[in-house]
């Protein structure tokens, strides 16, 4: 069960949470994997909806790293707002442009981590209220992991075998919904 379901049911379940350095390393690796997935989206699919979803492949390719942009903004400036989750720029026309953006966000995360790991904030202000830093980082990592799973599945639904596939080790220990299209993320 996810944390939210457990809370709703009145169940207290202690689960092992990944440590902050592990989450950051996992998040960087997930972004790198996502960049490979995004680069494999065919040109004719970029502006088509993902089967059963409102988002296009390009929308999802843009939204995925935006979760990290929002997290970094909150870590640096103290606020994560909905404005971080808009639509991709109209100037983007290729999967390589989207993949490049994912890579640039991964690089920004690495730079932030190198400069900030010794003085992390205790909490962050997010669009859903004040959050403990660790919880916000975990939620961001899960958010990215879930969308990477969706990108991988969207490619598979188009008959494309993702190379390399998303490594199971990147998902291990994260409180992900069982359903790749599920929307339940850890509380935030």
Looking up residue 28, the CATH number of its domain turns out to be 1.20.120.450
Residue 29 has pLDDT above 70, yes or no: yes
Answer whether residue 181 is part of any domain.
no
Answer whether residue 180 is part of any domain.
no
User: What pTM was estimated for this model as a whole?
Assistant: 0.87
Structural domains of the chain, count: 1
| pLDDT (0 to 100) of residue 34 | 98
CA separation for the pair 186, 188 (Å, rounded): 6
| pLDDT (0 to 100) of residue 7 | 46
Write out the two tokens for 73.
Answer: 């903004």
Answer whether residue 63 is part of any domain.
yes
Per-residue H/E/C for the chain: CCHHHHHHCCCCCCCCCCCHHHHHHHHHHHHHHHHHHHHCCCHHHCCCECCCCCCEHHHHHHHHHHHHHHHHHHHHHCCCCHHHHCCCCCCCCCHHHHHHHHHHHHHHHHHHHHHHCCCCCCEEEECCEEEEHHHHHHHHHHHHHHHHHHHHHHHHHCCCCCCCCCCHHHHCCCCCCCCCCCCCCCCC
CA separation for the pair 7, 5 (Å, rounded): 5
Q: Model confidence over 39-57: pLDDT tens digits?
A: 999 999 999 998 778 889 9
Residue 106 has pLDDT above 70, yes or no: yes
pLDDT tier at 27, thresholds 50, 70, 90:
very high
Which one is predicted more confidently, 30 or 76? Answer: 30
Give the best-scoring range by mean pLDDT among 29-38, 73-82, 172-181.
29-38
Q: Model confidence over 79-90: pLDDT tens digits?
A: 665 565 677 888
Q: Model confidence over 135-183: pLDDT tens digits?
A: 999 999 999 999 999 999 999 999 999 999 999 999 999 999 999 987 6
Is 123 in contact with 43 (CB distance < 8 Å)? Answer: no
Mean pLDDT of 90-102: 93
Answer whether residue 108 is part of any domain.
yes
Q: Give the lowest-confidence range in 7-21, 31-45, 170-184.
A: 7-21
Is 152 in contact with 176 (CB distance < 8 Å)? Answer: no
Answer whether residue 12 is part of any domain.
no
Task: Tell me the residue range of the domain where 150 lies.
Answer: 19-171
């Amino acid at each position: 069960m996810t944390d939210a379901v457990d809370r709703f049911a009145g169940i207290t379940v202690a689960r092992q949470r990944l440590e902050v350095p592990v989450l950051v390393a996992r998040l960087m690796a997930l972004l790198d994997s996502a960049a490979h997935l995004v680069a494999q989206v065919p040109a004719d699919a970029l502006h088509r909806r993902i089967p059963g979803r409102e988002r296009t492949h390009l929308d999802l390719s843009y939204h995925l790293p935006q979760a990290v942009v929002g997290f970094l903004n909150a870590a640096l400036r103290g606020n994560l707002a909905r404005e971080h989750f808009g639509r991709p720029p109209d100037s983007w026309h290729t999967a390589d442009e989207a993949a490049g953006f994912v890579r640039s966000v991964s690089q920004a995360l690495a730079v932030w981590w190198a400069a900030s790991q010794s003085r992390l904030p205790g909490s962050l202000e997010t669009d859903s209220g004040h959050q403990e830093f660790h919880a916000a980082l975990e939620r961001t990592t899960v958010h990215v992991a879930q969308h990477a799973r969706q990108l991988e599945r969207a490619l598979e639904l188009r008959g494309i075998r993702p190379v390399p596939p998303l490594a199971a080790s990147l998902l291990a220990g994260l409180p992900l919904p069982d359903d790749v299209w599920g929307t339940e993320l850890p509380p935030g």
